[in-house]
Structure 1
Amino acid sequence: MPQTREHILLARQVDVPNLVVFLNKCDLMSGDDEELLELVDMEIRDLLSKYEFDGDNAQIIRGSATKALEDDDGELGL
C-alpha cells in the first residue's frame, strides 16, 4: 500500500485534521475474504496512527466506486 502511505503522509504535511478512508473494489472480494479485509483495515489504522491521525476511531468505508456509478443500491454501491 505505498500509495496509501504516501497519501496519508501528504495529508499530514498539509495539516488535514481528519481523514475518511474508502476501501474500493470490495465487490470483487468473496465472502471468504473477510479476514483479508480485516487485515487491510488494521494496517490502515496502524498507518493513520503512525502519522498522528486517530487510527483507532477513523471512519473506514467499504464499497465499490463502480457499483455507485452504476446507481447500484446494494450494500457496496452505498
Structure 2
Amino acid sequence: MGALGLVRLQTFYERVHAPTQGAALGMALILAASIVSFSVAEQRLVLRDVLIGLFLTVTTPVTLILLGRVPRLH
C-alpha cells in the first residue's frame, strides 16, 4: 500500500503520508498480537503494550512535521 502510494501520488506531503498508513496498520497488528500473546501466557489481561502504541502514535506526527519543514532541493 505504501509503495503504491509512493509511485502514484504527486506531492511530497502525499508521498510521506502513504507509507505511514502501512506503518500504522503494522504497528496496530503487532501490538494486538503482543497483547493477546502476553494475556494468554499470563492468564490475565495485559495492557502494558498500549503505552508503546500511545508513544508511537504521538511521535509519528512530530516526525512528519519535521520532515515537512526540511527545505527541499530542486
Q: Which of the pair is proportionally richer in helix?
A: 2
Query: TM-score with structure 2 length normalisation?
Result: 0.36
Which TM-score applies when normalising by structure 1? Answer: 0.34
Which structure is larger by alpha-carbon Rg, 1 or 2? 2
Identify the structure with the greater strand proportion: 1
